[in-house]
Amino acid sequence: MDTFLNYIDGQWVPSVTGERFESRNPAHPSQVLGEFQSSDARDIDAAVQTARRAQKAWRRTPAPKRAEIVERAVRILEDRKDELARLVTQEMGKTLVDSSYDVGGAITSGKYMAGEGLRMFGDTVPSGLPNRMAMTRREPVGVVGIITPWNLPMLMPAWKLFPAIVCGNTVVVKPAEDTPLCAVRLFEILEEAGVPPGVVNLVTGYGHTAGQALVEHPDVDMISFTGSQEVGRRIAATAGADLKHVSLEMGGKNAIVVFDDADVDAAVDGVLWGGFSTAGQRCTASSRLVVDEKIADDFVDRLAKRMGELVVGDGLDEATNVGPIINPKQLDRVHSYTRIGIDEGAELVLGGKKLDDADLDGGYYYAPTLFDHVTPDMRIAQEEIFGPTVAVLRVSGDEEAIEVANGTDYGLSASVYTTNVARAMNAVAEFESGIAYVNAPTIGSEIHLPFGGVKSTGNGHRESGKSAIEQFTEIKTVFIDYSGGLQRAGID
């Protein structure tokens, strides 16, 4: 079996612990993709120290030069796109269509951020004094710790790392324990692209050891985290006490709202894609369907029929619509919510079981699941399930629909289906979410636009697009006085 190493100071090195963990294919659990370093605080410390040492030269490297290296990485990613998409499917389980979005997103992110290296705009602003110039310049934050989830195993590390390094930061990445091979491949590409030693470092391992050590390390200036709310809250508390910058992107309980004038077939298509692609393991998954009672019977009938046609299986098989769940623990968790929904009095329309047919080879599959007559107070309407389970909440009129859609702690993505532009724009304005869609499901964000959520989904940051530059830079305000004497701002 292949053993993969950490990448620290431009070298592939084993962990000081001497311990390893495996990555397995969730569609074929007997298939091991490799063994990875189970790192601890000592490996993190070595990586942070090297990132700190590399900081000085890297921040002095002109941003356009930093961007050229990212551009080279993009070219390699493009050449290897198909092979990498297959790897994403094998390690994470989602279909090849989903995986090509994952790798394609990493490529787009790299292209966009390489362009930002040629801009990196500051402002020039008129001073209130004569013969004085006022301007801002962007500088790196310093050493950035990046902690990523498993559901977008190429895209997530890439969309944090590319802007971070273009902005002149050096980074230490702790990828999800379920998808370390995707991260290793990305780092091999960065190495091949010529990123100088120490600028990017990879330390694999568990969240509670390697991840936590990164968050607690005193010489880390910023943590960029995407994952669950529970872990995000702990990171915010720890890093906040240390006055680190913290950017958190956490879960969602995203609603598709279907008004009574909607094109029901289009809405059903939206649910099939938004609720069940990546087996519902998307932070933006359409897990709640808030449907006007006037059309709800028709909507549920049509949805159930189409859900029955979804093919569950290995994501490498082109016929597959819904791949496996990432691991047995998550599979149990998804299944536990079916019990919870039934006990709460919701009506199970379809699915609600693990799939273990012989031809599924022991993969961690869950049947696409539909609950109807769900009420807003139920746990299945409030908690992120992160699986192929959707809940229909029946409402009366637009106002109640929007109120129910907004009635969770989360605020990532929301969508409305309607044929009336005024009703659509009202919903867009009223949604408590970072992302809103009209006549499209809650997934489908584009890499060159800001991404993130309000309420308990985030802490006020947006990643991706030009917002990422705000996130990964500090602003220095500069005054240049050429009057030859003393001028007192705000007085003279």
What positions carry a catalytic annotation? 249, 283
Closest to ligand NAP by CB, 313 or 411? 411
By Cβ distance, which residue is nearest to ligand NAP?
A: 207
Taking CB under 6 A as the binding criterion, the range among 63-71, 175-183, 286-294, 388-396 that sits at the site for ligand NAP is 175-183
Alpha-carbon span 349 to 204, nearest angstrom: 41
Residues with Cβ within 8 Å of 247's Cβ and at least 6 positions away in sequence, in order, are 222, 223, 224, 225, 459, 461, 463, 471
Number of residues that bind ligand NAP (CB under 6 A): 31
Residue nearer to ligand NAP on the CB measure, 182 or 215: 215
Among 109, 204, 212, 278, which residue interacts with ligand NAP (rule: CB under 6 A)?
A: 212
User: Does 36 engage in binding with ligand NAP (CB under 6 A)?
Assistant: no
CB neighbour list of residue 389: distance below 8 Å, 6 or more residues apart: 280, 287, 334, 337, 338, 341, 351, 366, 369, 370, 371, 380
Q: Nearest approach, Cβ of 300 to ligand NAP (angstroms)?
A: 26
CB-count burial class (<10 Å; 0-12, 13-18, 19+) for 265: exposed
Shortest gap between Cβ of 412 and ligand NAP (angstroms)? Answer: 6
Q: Of 77 and 246, which CB lies nearer to ligand NAP in the complex structure?
A: 246
Q: Which two tokens stand for residue 408?
A: 């969770």
Q: How far is the CB of 345 from ligand NAP (least distance, A)?
A: 26
**Among 199, 412, 424, 468, which residue sits at the site for ligand NAP (rule: CB under 6 A)?**
412
The residue (of 236 and 350) whose beta carbon lies closer to ligand NAP is 236
Q: How far is the CB of 413 from ligand NAP (least distance, A)?
A: 9
Instruction: Write out the two tokens for 395.
Output: 């409402």
Q: Any residues with CB less than 8 A from the CB of 453 and at least 6 apart, and which?
A: 249, 250, 252, 410, 411, 412, 413, 433, 434, 435
Written as six digits, the tokens of 405 are 């859609």
Q: Which of residues 224-283 bind ligand NAP (CB under 6 A)?
A: 226-228, 231, 234-235, 249-252, 283
User: Shortest approach of ligand NAP to residue 208 CB, angstroms?
Assistant: 5
Candidates 98, 102, 116, 177; binder of ligand NAP (CB under 6 A) is 177
Using CA atoms, how far apart are residues 284 and 254, in angstroms rounded to an integer?
Answer: 6
Secondary structure (DSSP) of 123-190: -EEE-SSTTEEEEEEEEE-SEEEEE--SSSTTHHHHHHHHHHHHTT-EEEEE--TT-HHHHHHHHHHH
Site for ligand NAP contains 153 (CB under 6 A): no
Q: Tokens 């044929």 sit at which residue?
A: 419
CB of 461 to ligand NAP, least distance (A): 10
**C-alpha to C-alpha distance for 324 and 433, rounded to whole angstroms:** 29
Footprint of ligand NAP (CB under 6 A): 147-152, 174, 176-178, 206-208, 211-212, 215, 226-228, 231, 234-235, 249-252, 283, 384, 386, 412, 457
